[in-house]
């Protein structure tokens, strides 16, 4: 009898004590260097309630698992729930992470026992008597080596009319609550510019902050130093941008380590410039003045760019005309300058409005529209015909010797400035890209002022010629040679029209190009008839001219479907993509990224002079460099986003990646030795290690 009662009481003990604990715990699952269990804070549930589940990790000593942002390497723990209809599970409530240094990397994770809590809800109309919960968990546990693992957990919790807490796990959930950062009702803002993450959070200075952790992956360089400051009641956080940064998320969590314990808040992306004295753009009067000066210098150099010269030649003819009075010359220079400056400001305003509407546009965006390219080709062709003497067009614009009234001369000078800006947009001069990229991050008025400075720099040579007697004295005397010069200057315009039609054909295809050329013939015929009318040799030909111009317009507008995007692949270049670049960088390969466009003359010249040469190809082969080429001829949001990473609003952009070094942006104007010299300099700092 004694043995019987012992067995009887043992069974009772198992039923009354062991049974309930197993109902709200999955039991331990053992894996390499870690054991885990899934437990509930309730042993009985009722319909309509919310309850918590905890994934409890206990790794071996000095082994660690990872936070939601694992840092430079690692893998965040994930839970895949299988739940009855109507039951919902919230996101993991992560504990505050710690920085785990694995030189030269820094990871974010947890050492020792870790508790990941998720909150679940049961619908009010839940009918079952049991709530079956299944979870498939994936994790990575690391020390010197990393071991991925996964396990499945299952809980079956009774559903009654009362909710009963699991008292034996209360301390575990209390500990989980203590490990989690305290959520505070603060919302900061952040941005990524100049290859740096910056955040601003309104908070009192007496809350000492020692470190911060961003929950967004691939946003910051986790091993880079953190800068923590207070300015005018705002906590300012800065850290170098991650090499693999792709796109800024709209919002994410931020954990701050403070003297009072970790706190949790949200950061919102500052996607548009703000009209405020202090913003994430960190508006500085000194920086702004420097950028205004750079824009003016860039505008001055823009006069030397090949896409601008043909149009500027028209204005040069006007300035050498000695029959004009000094006052008239000054007035024309002012009208020309007004046309240039206002056109730059108008383009800038259009760019800012389109960006605020969510469009991914940049400098030269209008030339991504084939219709604009075609119309511009027609316009330059008509101007060239005028210079060739086929038709006398825009006498106030050309002003090649006739005594003109002030009104048409002013109008012609103004629209010469407008035209100069339109055809200048494919070109990017030194200093110009930096200034325009900075302008895109500033408040609207500050940005427009930078574009106005760019226009003023472009108009500066003509202002100097008109207002400075010393410069004016350098001009040659007028004479019959001006007519010959005018005719010779037609040829750069013809060539510019050919180039624009080539771009049009690349954008729309060979069939559309053929139609555009037919339209060009109609336009030439209309101009010929117009010229005869001016000489009173054609009678009444206005109706025929109108028909011809209409036919030319129809030929340009009636194009087929756009051509397939041209591939940027060549014998030594691959087509750029975010995935390909990321893969190469992860493999530790040196990479050159070239962002270009067919309508960018600066890009085409750089490729011919500096990138597609035998010496540059040899340098690429010597350093095992992969050359990626992105084509922005047509609109491409991915390339627009990449340009914004480097504070650029247009092409060209050349970025050289070298293992162990931050990306290096090469000059916008390349020399034959630019690439080789950059590679030599980077390799001297960080020799390339290859697996032979």
278 part of a folded domain: no
User: What average pLDDT does range 502-531 have in this prediction?
Assistant: 77
Of 464, 189, 200, nearest to 337 by C-alpha is 464
Last residue of a domain, one of 487, 517, 540: 487
Residues 6+ apart with CB under 8 A from 460: 296, 299, 300
- pLDDT at 398 (0 to 100): 37
* Residue 119 confidence class, pLDDT cut points 50, 70, 90: very high
362-380 per-position pLDDT tens digit: 555 566 677 777 777 777 7
Q: At what angle do helices 490-508 and 510-534 cross, to 10 degrees?
A: 150
If one compares 300 and 549, the residue with the highest pLDDT of the two is: 300
What DSSP element (H or E) covers 640? helix 637-645
If one compares 510 and 128, the residue with the highest pLDDT of the two is: 128
Cα 516 to Cα 530: distance, rounded to the nearest angstrom: 21
Residue 580 token pair: 């390909």
Q: φ, ψ for residue 195 (rounded to 5)?
A: 60, 35
Region class of 29: left (phi > 0), else alpha (psi between -120 and 50), else beta: beta
- pLDDT at 403 (0 to 100): 34
- pLDDT at 275 (0 to 100): 37
Q: Position of tokens 């919790």?
A: 157
Which of 33-37, 228-232, 577-581 bottoms out in mean pLDDT, i.e. has the lowest? 228-232
Cα 114 to Cα 155: distance, rounded to the nearest angstrom: 20
**Inter-residue contact 187 to 250 (CB < 8 Å):** no
- Give whichever of 354-368, 554-568, 638-652 has the largest mean pLDDT: 638-652
Evaluate if residue 582 carries a pLDDT over 70.
yes
What DSSP element (H or E) covers 412? helix 406-424
**Inter-residue contact 74 to 107 (CB < 8 Å):** yes
Query: How many beta carbons lie within 10 A of that of residue 635, not counting itself?
Result: 14
Radius of gyration of the chain (CA): 35
Region class of 218: left (phi > 0), else alpha (psi between -120 and 50), else beta: left
Cα 106 to Cα 680: distance, rounded to the nearest angstrom: 29
- pLDDT at 24 (0 to 100): 74
- pLDDT at 9 (0 to 100): 53
Percent of the chain with pLDDT over 70: 72
- Taking all residues of the chain, what is their mean pLDDT, rounded to a whole number? 77
Q: Are residues 603 and 678 in the same domain?
A: yes
414-459 per-position pLDDT tens digit: 877 787 777 666 566 555 656 666 666 567 787 788 888 888 888 8
- pLDDT at 499 (0 to 100): 76
What DSSP element (H or E) covers 629? strand 626-631
- pLDDT at 6 (0 to 100): 58
Evaluate if residue 407 carries a pLDDT over 50.
no
- pLDDT at 20 (0 to 100): 40
Cα 490 to Cα 445: distance, rounded to the nearest angstrom: 39
- pLDDT at 60 (0 to 100): 92
- pLDDT at 402 (0 to 100): 33
CATH number at residue 188: 2.60.40
Cα 463 to Cα 472: distance, rounded to the nearest angstrom: 10
DSSP 112: S
- Give whichever of 33-42, 315-324, 393-402 has the largest mean pLDDT: 33-42
Q: φ, ψ for residue 367 (rounded to 5)?
A: -80, 0
Last residue of a domain, one of 487, 519, 550: 487
Evaluate if residue 108 carries a pLDDT over 90.
yes
CA-to-CA dists, residue 536 to 319, 428, 545, 551, angstroms: 30, 45, 15, 24
7 part of a folded domain: no
If one compares 673 and 388, the residue with the highest pLDDT of the two is: 673
- pLDDT at 16 (0 to 100): 43
Cα 650 to Cα 643: distance, rounded to the nearest angstrom: 7
Q: Are residues 205 and 306 in the same domain?
A: no
Cα 428 to Cα 433: distance, rounded to the nearest angstrom: 7
Of 631, 567, 635, 545, nearest to 594 by C-alpha is 631
If one compares 166 and 564, the residue with the highest pLDDT of the two is: 166
Cross-strand bridge partners of residue 595: 630, 653
Evaluate if residue 164 carries a pLDDT over 60.
yes
Q: Are residues 612 and 660 in the same domain?
A: yes
CATH number at residue 118: 2.60.40.1250
554 part of a folded domain: no
Of 357, 367, 430, nearest to 602 by C-alpha is 430
* Residue 470 confidence class, pLDDT cut points 50, 70, 90: low
586 part of a folded domain: yes
- Give whichever of 34-38, 74-78, 578-582 has the largest mean pLDDT: 34-38
Residues 6+ apart with CB under 8 A from 508: 370, 559, 560, 562, 563
Residue 396 token pair: 């106030």
9 part of a folded domain: no
- pLDDT at 115 (0 to 100): 95
234 part of a folded domain: yes
Per-residue burial over 518-536, b = 16 or more CB atoms within 10 Å of its CB, e = otherwise: ebbebbbbbbbbbbbbeee
- pLDDT at 276 (0 to 100): 37
Cα 281 to Cα 288: distance, rounded to the nearest angstrom: 11
- pLDDT at 312 (0 to 100): 64
**Inter-residue contact 623 to 589 (CB < 8 Å):** no
Q: Please state the domain count of the chain.
A: 4
- Give whichever of 15-19, 123-127, 531-535 has the largest mean pLDDT: 123-127
103 part of a folded domain: yes
258-298 per-position pLDDT tens digit: 888 899 998 988 763 333 333 444 456 777 788 888 888 87
Evaluate if residue 65 carries a pLDDT over 90.
yes
- pLDDT at 2 (0 to 100): 57
Burial of 359 (0-12, 13-18, 19+ CB in 10 A): middle
- Give whichever of 81-95, 235-249, 522-536, 602-616 has the largest mean pLDDT: 81-95
If one compares 438 and 407, the residue with the highest pLDDT of the two is: 438
Last residue of a domain, one of 456, 487, 518: 487
Evaluate if residue 152 carries a pLDDT over 90.
yes
3-class SS letters over 292-315 = HHHHHHHHHHHCCCCCCHHHHHHH
Burial of 276 (0-12, 13-18, 19+ CB in 10 A): exposed
Q: Are residues 580 and 440 in the same domain?
A: no
Q: Are residues 133 and 200 in the same domain?
A: no
- pLDDT at 636 (0 to 100): 77
Residue 535 token pair: 């000489």
Per-residue burial over 573-611, b = 16 or more CB atoms within 10 Å of its CB, e = otherwise: bbebeeeebeebbeeebbbbbbbbbbbbbbbbbbbeebb
Q: Are residues 255 and 299 in the same domain?
A: no
Q: Are residues 49 and 152 in the same domain?
A: yes
**Inter-residue contact 117 to 180 (CB < 8 Å):** yes
**Inter-residue contact 657 to 593 (CB < 8 Å):** yes
Query: How many beta carbons lie within 10 A of that of residue 279, not counting itself?
Result: 18
Percent of the chain with pLDDT over 90: 18
- 0.95 cut: is pTM over it? no
Residue 574 token pair: 């691959």
**Inter-residue contact 497 to 377 (CB < 8 Å):** yes
Q: Are residues 195 and 170 in the same domain?
A: no
Q: Where are the beta strands (DSSP E) in 28-113?
A: 29-31, 34-40, 42-44, 50-59, 64-71, 78-82, 88-89, 98-102, 105-111
536 part of a folded domain: no
CA-to-CA dists, residue 301 to 113, 275, 298, 431, 455, angstroms: 63, 31, 5, 9, 11
**Inter-residue contact 508 to 562 (CB < 8 Å):** yes
What order of strands is seen across the sheet that includes strand 626-631? 574-575, 626-631, 591-596, 653-657, 664-665
Which of 181-195, 374-388, 460-474 bottoms out in mean pLDDT, i.e. has the lowest? 460-474
Residues 6+ apart with CB under 8 A from 200: 188, 189, 190, 234, 235, 236, 237, 278, 279, 280
DSSP 584-608: HHHTT--EEEEEE-TT-HHHHHHII
Tell me which residue range forms the domain holding 607.
574-685
* Residue 537 confidence class, pLDDT cut points 50, 70, 90: low
Q: Are residues 207 and 305 in the same domain?
A: no
Q: Are residues 428 and 340 in the same domain?
A: yes
Q: Are residues 131 and 240 in the same domain?
A: no
- pLDDT at 400 (0 to 100): 34
Q: Are residues 313 and 448 in the same domain?
A: yes
Cα 690 to Cα 692: distance, rounded to the nearest angstrom: 6
- pLDDT at 430 (0 to 100): 59
CATH number at residue 586: 3.40.30.10
Which of 243-257, 467-481, 654-668, 675-689 bottoms out in mean pLDDT, i.e. has the lowest? 467-481
């Amino acid at each position: 009898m004694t043995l019987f009662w012992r067995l009887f009481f043992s069974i009772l003990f198992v039923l009354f004590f062991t049974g309930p604990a197993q109902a709200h715990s999955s039991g331990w699952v053992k894996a390499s260097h870690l054991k885990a269990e899934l437990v509930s804070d309730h042993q009985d549930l009722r319909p309509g309630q919310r309850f918590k589940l905890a994934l409890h990790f206990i790794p071996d000593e000095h082994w660690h698992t990872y936070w939601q942002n694992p840092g430079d390497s690692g893998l965040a723990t994930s839970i895949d729930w299988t739940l009855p209809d109507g039951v919902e599970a919230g996101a993991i409530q992560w504990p505050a992470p710690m920085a785990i240094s694995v030189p030269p990397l820094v990871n974010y994770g947890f050492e020792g026992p870790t508790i990941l809590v998720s909150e679940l809800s049961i619908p009010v109309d839940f009918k079952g008597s049991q709530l079956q919960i299944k979870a498939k968990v994936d994790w990575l546990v690391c020390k010197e080596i990393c071991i991925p693992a996964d396990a499945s957990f299952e809980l079956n919790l009774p559903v009654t009319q009362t909710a009963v807490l699991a008292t034996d796990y209360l301390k575990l959930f209390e500990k989980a609550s203590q490990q989690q950062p305290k959520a505070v009702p603060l919302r900061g803002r952040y941005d990524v510019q100049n290859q740096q993450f910056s955040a601003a959070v309104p908070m009192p200075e007496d809350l000492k902050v020692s470190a911060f952790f961003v929950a967004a992956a691939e946003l910051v360089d986790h091993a880079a130093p953190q800068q923590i400051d207070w300015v005018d009641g705002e906590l300012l956080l800065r850290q170098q941008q991650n090499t693999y940064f792709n796109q800024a998320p709209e919002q994410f969590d931020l954990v701050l380590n403070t003297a009072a314990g970790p706190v949790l808040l949200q950061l919102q992306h500052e996607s548009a410039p703000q009209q405020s004295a202090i913003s994430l753009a960190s508006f500085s009067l000194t920086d702004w003045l420097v950028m205004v000066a750079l824009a003016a210098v860039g505008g001055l150099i823009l006069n030397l760019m090949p896409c601008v010269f043909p149009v500027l030649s028209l204005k040069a003819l006007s300035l050498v005309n000695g029959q004009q009075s000094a006052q008239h010359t000054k007035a024309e220079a002012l009208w020309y300058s007004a046309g240039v400056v206002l056109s730059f400001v108008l383009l800038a305003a259009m760019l800012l409005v389109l960006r605020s509407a969510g469009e991914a546009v940049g400098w030269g965006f209008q030339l991504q529209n084939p219709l604009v390219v075609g119309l511009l080709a027609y316009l330059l062709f008509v101007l060239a015909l005028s210079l060739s003497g086929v038709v006398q067009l825009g006498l106030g614009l050309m002003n090649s010797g006739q005594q003109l009234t002030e009104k048409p001369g002013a109008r012609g000078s103004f629209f010469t400035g407008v035209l100069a800006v339109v055809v200048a947009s494919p070109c990017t001069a030194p200093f110009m890209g930096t200034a325009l990229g900075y302008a895109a991050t500033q408040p609207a008025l500050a940005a427009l002022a930078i574009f106005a400075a760019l226009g003023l720099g472009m108009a500066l040579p003509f202002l100097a010629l008109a207002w400075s007697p010393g410069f004016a004295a350098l001009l040659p005397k007028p004479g019959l040679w001006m007519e010959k010069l005018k005719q010779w200057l037609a040829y750069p315009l013809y060539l510019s029209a050919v180039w624009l039609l080539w771009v049009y054909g690349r954008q729309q295809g060979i069939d559309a190009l053929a139609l555009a050329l037919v339209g060009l013939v109609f336009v030439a015929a209309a101009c010929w008839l117009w010229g005869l009318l001016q000489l009173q040799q054609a009678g009444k030909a206005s109706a025929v001219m109108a028909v011809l111009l209409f036919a030319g317009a129809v030929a340009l507008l009636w194009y087929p479907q756009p051509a397939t995007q041209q591939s940027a692949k060549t014998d030594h270049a691959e087509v750029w993509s975010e995935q390909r670049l990321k893969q190469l960088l992860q493999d530790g390969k040196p990479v050159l990224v070239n962002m270009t466009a067919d309508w960018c003359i600066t890009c085409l010249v750089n490729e011919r002079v500096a990138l597609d040469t035998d010496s540059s190809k040899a340098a690429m082969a010597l350093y095992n460099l992969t050359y990626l080429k992105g084509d922005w001829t047509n609109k491409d949001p991915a390339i627009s986003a990449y340009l914004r990473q480097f504070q650029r609003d247009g092409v060209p952009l050349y970025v050289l990646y070298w293992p162990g070094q931050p990306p290096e942006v090469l000059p916008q104007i390349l020399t034959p030795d630019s690439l080789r010299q950059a590679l030599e300099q980077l390799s001297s700092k960080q020799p390339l290690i290859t697996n032979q």
